[in-house]
Amino acid sequence: MTAIIRAATVEDAPALAHIHQVSFAEAWDADSFRRLLERDGAFALAGKNAAETDLQSFILIQVAADESEILSIATCPQARRSGLARALVIAAMAEAARRGAKTMFLEVADDNVAALALYQNLGFAAHGRRRAYYIRSNAPPIDALTLRAHLSKESWE
């Protein structure tokens, strides 16, 4: 499938909140997305498969000095494993590098096999562990792995 990726704006906040809601137990609301998108150094990209009309995926990034962090990334369940997340991470890495970031960080549950494979394939490596970071209802807490990738403007242009 062909992914269509574009910059997200505050007007997209309700759509981003919907994607977050269908992806996570503790979802952020549209106002949270608006506030994050209005922060200095923050940007979001949104994506969908070409045949779709509604946004299906997003990535939210914060850039500070020469570092960037993936604050959140989500894809609607029906669009998972279609390449949207990969396209968004690649585009976000390029934009973060363009904005002067030399590294990108993120946290991911250590049992999220699909996400770990995606990030490792894109050059992220384990940088640390946060014990019992993710609290889940009716399940024991799960560790978060902190991953880091080095960014190079030339490699993403």
Count of all residues that appear for the chain in the document: 157
Catalytic residue chosen out of the listed positions 67, 119, 134, 157? 119
Phi, psi of 55 (to 5 degrees): -60, 145
Catalytic residue chosen out of the listed positions 107, 133, 154, 157? 107
Tell me, yes or no, if 119 is annotated catalytic: yes
CA 118, CA 124: separation in Å to the nearest integer? 9
Non-local CB neighbours of 44 within 8 Å, separated by 6+ positions: 7, 8, 12, 16, 33, 36, 37, 58, 59, 60, 61
Burial class (CB in 10 A: 0-12, 13-18, 19+), 131: exposed
**Residues with catalytic annotation?**
107, 119
